[in-house]
Amino acid sequence: MPAPKAPIGRADKTAWLITGPLFAVGVLLTLPVVLSGHARPILDNIGYAPLLLLFAVLASLMELRLDNRRQGVSIWMNDVPVLLSLFYLSPLLTITIRVLAGLVWAIFKVRLGPHKAAFNASSQMASIAAANLVIFLAGLGAATEPRTWLVLGLAIAASNFVGLAALAGVMALMHGAAQLPQFLRMGLPGHAVMGVNIILGLVMLLTLHAGPWSILLLVMLAAVLGVASRAYARFLRQHRTLTEMYALTRDIASTNHDGTLPDVLLGRVRALLVADSASLWLPAQKRHDELLLSARFDYQGLLDSAPTPDLFRELAMRTGRTVFAGPKAGEHELRAALQEARVKDIIVVPLRSGGVTVGTLEVAGRLGDRTAFGADDVQLIETLAAHTGVAVENSRLVDRLQYDANHDSLTGLANRRRMLEALGEAMSGRGPREVVAVLLFDVVALRQVNDSLGHAAGDKVLVEVARRLSSLAPQGALVARVGDDEFAIELRTAGVEAAVTVAGTLRNGLRDPMVIESLTVDVDANVGISIYPEHGDDAEVLLQRAHVATHVAKSRGIVQVFNAGLQSRAVRRVGLAADLRTALAGGEIEVYFQPKVALSDRRVVGVECLARWEHPVHGQVAPPDFVAVAEHTGQLARLNGVVLREGIRRAREWADAGRPLAVAINLSPRTLGDADLPLQISELLDEHGVPADRLILEISEDEGLLAGGRALPTLDRLRDLGVRLSVDDFGAGRSSFADLSRLPVQEVKIDRTFVQGMATSPSDLAIVRTIVDMARHFELDVVAEGVESELTLGLLEDMHCGMGQGFLFSRPLPYERFESWLQVQTAADPAQAPAGEVRWLRAVP
């Protein structure tokens, strides 16, 4: 039967509120039996009393324990000695034996306090009194009569019912009526053993009735039952443990992807070890913050605190071994810490992953006054910790993979994938007066930093750009790295003007000098903006259109907002890719020539070769468009080859005609990354018999020529070959003459914007004058581009600029028209003028 077990909850003295009434019930139920005069004499069969008392004590030790939260139900075989006592002994002696056996169990085995011992004694008295009353009312016959068996069974049932009612009463008193359903669900299955006990008791009764020597058989049966009871109890505990561990492993495996691992783990561990609390502690590690969560018996969720003293965790982390302390276990220092924390016992097990201790799994306070954690519990939680360590590592691995899938490894910002997801979320959740803006920043001059200082320095620039954008971006904006040197910001704002203002503020913040490896680096960014819903309703489309706007911003130097015209130009470029390949293969790319004139004596000293493409559908295609297409489709080398071959071939023809002219050809800095370029040029020069110094290669300054780095070896090889090098559009970028002094260049071409403005702008005039003076100091030739007026020409002559090029002399012309121009402009009589001298300056339409 279930023995009343002293609960824990409110003050123990509260038990007296039910102990007294129980005692009174026992007296009231006993009085009718004793006072009737028909009860069995108290000394009847007194010889059986010592044996039955011993049997009752031994039966109390044959315990099968079931625990649930703070309530415990223990099942014994004490119904068997009670049944025999009811048949052989008087009612008062039966009560006395049962109460004495219960007191021996309560005082010497489990060491209950006086309040709980009194409660147990009163409960046992009332239950036996109820059984005596059933026997008195129904009467007993011979041991072999079925009616006697039925009456004894009913008596045992009445005894169990009163005991269960007493225990339910104290549970309701101390923990409230809400706990009764759960208690009954745990207690009633234990009462199913009552039927087995009744049958065993009747078998013993019949055996004793057969003769006095049968008691030896009963002793042997009791021993076997005791061993079987303990084995069965051990089996139930093992089965329960294995079942819980299987459920725990299964649930842990299913929580690696949803973040509920601590909830499932700690709830299972606490229940499995019947502990007051179970805690998981993971110290801070890299990007993971410290984690401390606890499951408590009386709290449905998780708490961010634990009863475990820090001493236990520190010792477990330092030694890598389990730390266990309890009433009779652990070192003095640990037990003192337990008393200070007011915790009965604690087990702290280190969690390991790959041989490294990553945290601890802890249980504290074994439920029940008479129970404490033992060696089996330590072994069990160590087994659980092994599963937990793997689960925690798997959970962090999944989290890390998810993080890596959505973040850039260098800057820690969101990546392109996360940006697209955030755009979709923002578009679906924007307010009625909001727009969703995409601001795309293309970092300028990153390639120069990589080439001159190395990629490690370039990475530091990107990290600093990411930091600045994150700190300057409005609250709620998402900053992401969506390309090698491209950063995107998604934000909700009032409109296009507000987005442009934010973009300007962020761009200005990026322009502040950065100190990288003791060097000051100036960084700028081209910014393109697209807006939802005006520019598209798809995340990919918005980001692509921000790219288009950024590309246009690169040439205009402004914050560019997307418009339909920009998109049509970008789409047109995509369509030109296949057509350009056909044009290169079919010889449709034509080379035009524009003269370079020495300003001192007006002689034509050279020509610049310029590629032109007449598309059969789109007409004349602007060179920046098809050059960009060639760069992005891998056709730039073929395009350069066409211009180089044509320019060198014409240089040979002009030399044969007595007009030796230098030919200048524009090359993209990307071409300088081709290690085979010097060899290709050398072969072309040898093929046509043109001296190397007759070829001038022009590279735009603002595209990274002056960064040196990977392009410098190619430039050195070209110089050694004898080819002349020129910096195109000088002044438009960030380069200085100090940069030029480190490069093997012989010429600079002043950007046309300064030349065309020098007649009206004092600042442009000062810039041109400074460039001319500095070039002369560095012994560099100077070419002024964009000469379109006599006034400009006069100013250039006054400052002794070497050469000029522009519409005042001639537009770029196809070969036949350029030949005609040469015939008209040069002197007919060689004796009157040197060959190639320009005798009249006028624009050719």
Active site residues: 785
For residues 646 and 687, the answer to whether their CB atoms sit within 8 Å is no
CA-to-CA dists, residue 114 to 340, 621, 657, 821, angstroms: 26, 105, 129, 126
HSE of 484, CA atoms in CB hemisphere, 13 A: 7
Tokens read off for 465:
């750009």
Q: For residue 528, give the 3-state DSSP assignment.
A: strand
Residue type at 827 in one-letter notation:
A
Angle at 343 between CA 340 and CA 346, to 5 degrees: 115
As a whole number of angstroms, the distance between CA 810 and CA 819 comes to 12
Residue entry with tokens 């923002």: 426
Q: For residue 634, give the 3-state DSSP assignment.
A: coil
Q: Collect all residues with Cβ–Cβ distance below 8 Å to 519 and sequence separation of at least 6.
A: 453
In DSSP terms, 527 is beta-bridged to: 441, 559
Tokens read off for 13:
């003295």
CA-to-CA dists, residue 103 to 5, 50, 54, 113, 152, angstroms: 12, 16, 13, 11, 24
Kindly tell me the burial class for residue 831, based on how many C-beta atoms sit within 10 Å of its own C-beta (0-12, 13-18, 19 or more).
exposed
Residue type at 115 in one-letter notation:
H
For the chain, the distance separating the N- and C-terminal CA atoms, rounded to the nearest angstrom, is 118
Tokens read off for 104:
């021996």
Pick the closest to residue 754 from 775, 726, 783 (CA basis): 783
For residues 509 and 468, the answer to whether their CB atoms sit within 8 Å is yes
For residues 486 and 436, the answer to whether their CB atoms sit within 8 Å is no
As a whole number of angstroms, the distance between CA 262 and CA 244 comes to 16
